[in-house]
Structure formats: C-alpha cells, structure tokens
C-alpha cells in the first residue's frame, strides 16, 4: 500500500511540475499572427502540425507542415534563434508540439489560439 501511495504521490508531483513548466507557453490570436506575418521577419518560422491530408485541404502560405508526431524526428529543421509559431486545427496539437519543442530546448515557441478553425473564421 505504501508503494502505491508513493507512486501516486510522484505522479501528482510530476503533473504539477509539468503544468507549471508549460503554463507560460506564449499564445497569439489569429489577428496577432497576421500582423506578425505581415512584418515578414526572417527570424520567424511558421509550422503547421496537422497531418499532411489536413494540411493539403487548407493551409496558410508560409507555414511548413511538420506533423506533431514527427516533431521529435525533425528537430534539425528548427533553429533556436527563431520565433516558432505553431498552428493546428483547434489548438491542442500545437500545445503538444510546443511542449515537445520546449523539452528539446526551444524557448521561443508561440501557439495560435483557436488554430485553423479561427483562421478560417
């Protein structure tokens, strides 16, 4: 019983630390993203983390498609000097991608609130 309580306690601690660590992931609205994209800064990278078929069905010019499940294998495509803007369909996959990038040492990662659903509206 004590071992189970210890394991449960460690899980709770991990979840709390993970939540605190990633609560500060930056977010921008679609209108803020459009303003940033209009500035055409070379230090910005735009990544769509949806699956290829979703990407082909509707994409934003300037975004590259790197599905969230491929992020870990594609880290060489990212630069730690870039501001990395991440979008998905609604926001949950972009958060997951941002977490993966943060864990790999990329600190300037920004997700798009509402994702492509907001972009289309």
> In this predicted model, what pLDDT tens digit does every residue of 25-49 receive, in sequence order?
899 999 999 999 999 888 999 999 9
44-76 tens-digit pLDDT? 999 999 999 999 999 999 999 999 999 999 999
* Nearest CA-CA partner of 67 in 91, 49, 87: 49
**Is the pLDDT reported for residue 95 higher than 70?**
yes
Distance CA 12, CA 61 (A): 42
**Is the pLDDT reported for residue 15 higher than 80?**
no
Please tell me the predicted confidence (pLDDT) of residue 19.
Answer: 47
N residues, the chain: 121
Q: pLDDT category, 23, cuts 50, 70, 90? A: low
Please tell me the predicted confidence (pLDDT) of residue 12.
Answer: 58
**If you average pLDDT over each of 12-16, 74-78, 84-88, which comes out highest?**
84-88
| Residue 81, token pair as written in the block | 């000097």
Residue 109 forms beta bridges with which residues?
84
| Residue 121, token pair as written in the block | 């509206």
**CATH numbers and ranges of domains, the chain:** 25-120 (3.40.250.10)
């Amino acid at each position: 019983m004590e071992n189970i309580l210890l394991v449960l306690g460690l899980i709770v601690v991990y979840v709390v630390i993970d939540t605190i660590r990633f609560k500060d992931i930056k977010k921008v609205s679609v209108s803020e993203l459009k303003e940033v994209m209009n500035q055409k800064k070379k230090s910005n990278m735009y990544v769509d983390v949806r699956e290829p078929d979703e990407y082909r069905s509707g994409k934003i010019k300037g975004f590259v498609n790197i599905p969230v499940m491929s992020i870990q294998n594609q880290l060489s495509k990212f630069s730690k000097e870039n501001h990395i803007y991440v979008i998905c369909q609604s926001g949950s996959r972009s958060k997951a991608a941002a977490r993966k990038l943060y864990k790999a040492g990329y600190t300037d990662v920004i997700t798009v609130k509402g994702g492509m659903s907001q972009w289309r509206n």
